[in-house]
């Protein structure tokens, strides 16, 4: 469990994720509305070296950014009525970039075989405080998780 004491720590964690991501990593962001999924994605983009403004793909489903160290495939599945299998997302999940999937838990069986789930929980007492749980599903995502945790610890010693 990683505890984030405010927006600056959320952005710091996001930057770490972008810095340690490798081609083909898949990150599923789970949390209530307003938990910080899009904010986290913006910081991940900065960690990848993407300077372009990051917008939520709520109505477009996916936005691609390829100006950084790795391409970023930013997906928002919240308003998708069809199953994920109908969306053709596999090419992104198996691509050369980092896939960040907001509300990816809604994809169910259409999720990639190997992914890291980042669960954001809001504090009941502090509006900016977040609890983050990382759950790996596969070998590549376990390695991704370890890189994130190790870099986070180094930065916060």
Across the chain, the runs of DSSP E, i.e. the strands, are: 2-4, 26-31, 62-65, 72-76, 98-102, 115-122, 130-137
Residue 13 C-beta-side C-alpha neighbours within 13 Å: 23
Sign of CA dihedral 122, 105, 38, 149: positive
22 domain residue, yes or no: yes
- The answer to whether the beta carbons of residues 20 and 144 sit under 8 Å apart is yes
**DSSP per-residue codes, 57-89:** -TTTSEEEE-SSSS-EEEEE-TT--S-GGGGT-
For residues 76-99, give the mean pLDDT.
Answer: 68
Instruction: Specify the pLDDT at position 115.
Output: 94
Q: How many domains does the chain have?
A: 1
Reported confidence tier of residue 79, pLDDT bands at 50, 70, 90? low
Question: Does any domain span residue 154?
Answer: no
- With respect to residue 23, please indicate whether it lies within any of the assigned structural domains: yes
Domain that residue 73 falls in = 1-101
Distance CA 54, CA 51 (A): 9
Mean pLDDT over 17-43 rounds to 88
What is the rounded CA–CA span in Å between residue 112 and residue 20?
20
Domain assignment present for 108: no
What confidence tens digit (pLDDT) does each residue in 45-74 have?
999 999 887 776 665 677 888 889 999 998
Average pLDDT over residues 20-47: 88
Q: Is residue 141 part of a domain?
A: no
Would you say residue 57 lies in a domain?
A: yes
* Residue 130 and residue 35 in contact, taking contact as beta carbons nearer than 8 Å: yes
Contact 109, 36 (CB under 8 A): no
The CATH number linked to 89 is 3.40.50.300
What tens digit of pLDDT does each residue of 89-124 get? Answer: 667 677 789 999 887 777 767 788 899 999 988 877
Let me know if residue 128 belongs to a domain: no
């Amino acid at each position: 469990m990683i505890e984030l004491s405010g927006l600056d720590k959320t952005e710091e964690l996001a930057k770490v994720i972008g810095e340690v991501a490798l081609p083909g990593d898949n990150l599923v962001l789970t949390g209530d509305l307003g938990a910080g999924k899009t904010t986290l994605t913006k910081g991940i983009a900065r960690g990848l070296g993407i300077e372009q403004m990051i917008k939520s793909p709520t109505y477009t489903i996916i936005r691609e950014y390829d100006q950084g160290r790795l391409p970023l495939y930013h997906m928002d599945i919240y308003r998708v009525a069809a199953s994920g299998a109908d969306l053709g997302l596999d090419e992104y999940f198996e691509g050369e970039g980092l896939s960040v999937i907001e509300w990816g838990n809604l994809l169910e069986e259409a999720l990639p075989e190997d992914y890291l789930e980042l669960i954001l929980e809001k504090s009941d007492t502090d509006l900016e405080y977040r609890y983050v749980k990382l759950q790996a599903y596969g070998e590549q995502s376990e390695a991704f998780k370890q890189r994130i945790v190790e870099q986070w610890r180094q930065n916060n010693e």
